[in-house]
Chains A and B, each alone.
Chain A
């Protein structure tokens, strides 16, 4: 199985699989550790709240599986899944994340702007990486989030600006995280998913 989409009971996993299928890549939605271990790549999607998602990962025993497998294969976190890659989250209460990328997740504070940051916004290329091949400065992707990652600039591939700088695509080694939804970002997003699937 090429790509395993990690199912831990949070959010819409089918649209990620639909996008991969449309691009010609096989994937399997699974919560089975054996499937995640056998996969070439992992995708961690997610919609919802940080503490609830981590509780679900911890309760299902997947936290340790993901931490171990992320050392061996490329991984992509999407939206909340991206935020979970960091060390800590401050949504409702301080919560330990997966700790795969240095940094933490905190509430968006954009005076005079609506929260959530929802809709199409343009990205700036900070540090090009394999996933950003074919992405142009100013390309637009689809965001829906109320929290943002706080991390070193060296981990940021793409950023957006919404009253403040928001890490849009982060990367540490083969661990990637997209704050936006590549599966809902039209051709720009599909291109980045394809780049990931081809890693």
Chain B
């Protein structure tokens, strides 16, 4: 049976992990490659690097990080952050990334999804969506009339694009996205659990894998997201970064609840 995936995410700036990561019994680790190696040892099913390097000139460091990771870690690697074109996909895939996630650039130019899918295959095209609850669906012709509405935010969650998350997910799949990484701006950083409502709204309308993100702060929150939504994977950052839990602790908890994991 297909396993539910647990994916640790690392924020990387100028080739270094932001804030550093404190694994149990290990001093702070700042090298993303070392962190990826450690997460692989802990049983991570994939690793995601999110590049938050501010200046475009210094982004070459990320390519080097990806290359070194691909030489040492043999599980899928997704890289995102600041992707602006299909050529950016090419550079990271060539360095050894298995998938590339694109967020804001796709909102402003959805064709980037189609171009990347055509050139590299939709299996490597991940659409990252940052969503936030924004009232209710007011269109009386919509099958979701009266239900909560979620808007797509760009620029790291700062800007409301006005686009509807559910409609955007449908369009993205039709253009060639192979997977959706759905982050809730409402639950992100709260550790209060994943945004089940938004996840279900998106899972209902797409036939590609959906990765739940934002709010995974306890073992129970991971159990809940797989019991109450059909999400295929769950992504989290801080719960793994400070040695609170290892990836395998989460998977063990899921296993005891009968949820298939690797």
Other-chain contact of B74, A118, A122, A185 (Cβ < 8 Å): A185
Any B CB within 8 A of the CB of A12: yes
User: What is the chain B residue whose CB lies nearest that of A114?
Assistant: B207
Majority DSSP secondary structure for residues of B touching A: loop
Any B CB within 8 A of the CB of A25: no
Any B CB within 8 A of the CB of A117: yes
Other-chain contact of B207, A19, A115, A122 (Cβ < 8 Å): A115
- What residues of chain A lie closer than 8 Å to B209, measured between beta carbons? 114, 118-119
User: What is the chain B residue whose CB lies nearest that of A141?
Assistant: B262
Any B CB within 8 A of the CB of A18: yes
User: What is the chain B residue whose CB lies nearest that of A186?
Assistant: B75
- What residues of chain A lie closer than 8 Å to B75, measured between beta carbons? 142, 184-186
User: How many angstroms between the C-alpha atoms of A22 and B74 in the bound complex?
Assistant: 10
Majority DSSP secondary structure for residues of A touching B: mixed
Q: Tell me the count of chain A residues lying within 8 A, CB to CB, of chain B.
A: 30
| Chain A 118-147 interface residues, beta-carbon cutoff 8 Å to B | 118-122, 140, 142, 144
Other-chain contact of B1, A18, A115, A122, A186 (Cβ < 8 Å): A122
- B1 adjacent to A15 (CB under 8 Å): no
Any B CB within 8 A of the CB of A47: yes
- A47 adjacent to B123 (CB under 8 Å): yes
Any A CB within 8 A of the CB of B121: yes
Any B CB within 8 A of the CB of A73: no
Other-chain contact of B70, A15, A144, A186 (Cβ < 8 Å): A15
- What residues of chain B lie closer than 8 Å to A184, measured between beta carbons? 74-76, 98
* Size band of the interface chain B makes with A: 20 to 34
User: How many angstroms between the C-alpha atoms of A48 and B117 in the bound complex?
Assistant: 10
Known: A119-B2, A120-B262, A122-B1. A186 touches B232 (CB 8 A): no
- What residues of chain A lie closer than 8 Å to B2, measured between beta carbons? 117, 119-121, 162
- Which residues of B pack against A, CB within 8 Å? 1-3, 5, 40, 45, 70-72, 74-76, 93-94, 96, 98, 120-121, 123-124, 178-179, 207-209, 232-233, 262
28 A-B residue pairs with CB within 8 Å: A12-B94, A12-B96, A15-B98, A18-B70, A18-B74, A18-B96, A21-B71, A22-B71, A48-B121, A114-B209, A114-B232, A115-B207, A117-B2, A118-B123, A118-B178, A118-B209, A119-B45, A119-B232, A120-B2, A120-B3, A120-B45, A121-B2, A142-B76, A161-B1, A184-B75, A185-B74, A185-B75, A190-B74
